[in-house]
Structure 1
Amino acid sequence: MPATSSIRVQTLDHVTIVVKDLERSRQFYCDVLGMEEQDRPNFAFQGSWFQAGDTQIHTILEFEDSGPAGDDGKKSTRAHHFAFRVDDAKAAAEHLKACGVPFVAGPKERPDGAVQTFVTDPDGYIIELCSTP
């Protein structure tokens, strides 16, 4: 492997997750988290795209070639998850509680003072909402 790479990653473009119900996922990502649904190319399989700042979440409706929807079942802040930066993770937690979103942990403060809240989406994927100190 070369000591230096000519590749320079610019940003995370998108995360793709397999879901069981596109509308239920749309409600969570748009109505609960405030993302905007985006136009999506006319793939041969069903799905939806949501914009979160510079990053997109791509959902694919579970089908024979997609793999299973949902996470591996381990509900821990140290399990597979993806994180979104928000203005105030504590305020976000209050909103999520009011919406009946299942919690994994938090809000809690990291050693550097950032605040983290961990919840699950409708398919059980763990999502972290974090805010800087």
Structure 2
Amino acid sequence: MIKYTCLHHISLTVTDLEKAKNFYGKTLCLNEITRPDFGFPGAWYEIEGQQLHLIVDPSSQTIRQDKRLSSREGHFALRVKNYHDTLTWLKKNEVEILEKPNSKSGFAQIFCADPDGNLIELNVEQKDL
């Protein structure tokens, strides 16, 4: 049996590091942290004790070709403090979103995508709306 202590990090491939850093750092307001020099470009972000790793790989087979927003495709989810503040911020920054405030999951969800189409869910408990 495997016993886990936490989710440590998620890695995503991106094609344009500056666009990705602008999105994750400025639009999603994530805190960039020091990354070792692996000999290829990328960036790391800290999210409440866990990490998001961006890896530049234009030939990646994991980059979505169809950039339409979907809640059914692979994504990662970040819990936010305030649904409405997050929604307002994303709209102000002209981020395309898919709203699901009454999802059967029990979470009020907002889906968006980074410049390469990686899907991100931002959510809160519905009771906290």
Which category of TM-score, normalised to the shorter sequence, fits these structures?
0.7 to 0.9
Which residue among 87, 94, 99 is the counterpart of 1:93?
A: 87
Which residue among 49, 62, 68 is the counterpart of 2:44?
A: 49
Count of aligned pairs: 125
1:90–1:117 CA contact under 8 A, matched in 2: no
3-state DSSP of counterpart to 1:116 = strand
What is the TM-score normalised by the length of structure 1? 0.84
Larger Rg over CA atoms = 1
The runs of 5 or more residues in structure 2 that have no matched partner are: none
Match of 2:69 in 1: 75
- How big is each residue's C-alpha offset from its partner over 1:29-75, in whole Å with a ceiling of 9 and x where there is no partner? 111111111111110211110111122110111155xx246325263
RMSD: 1.8
Match of 1:110 in 2: 103
Q: Percent identity?
A: 32
What is the TM-score normalised by the length of structure 2? 0.86
1:13-32 correspondence to structure 2 within 5 Å: 13-32=8-27
Which of structure 1's runs of 4+ aligned residues deviate more than 4 A? Answer: none
Which residue among 103, 114, 127 is the counterpart of 2:120?
A: 127
CA displacement at 1:107 relative to structure 2: 4.3
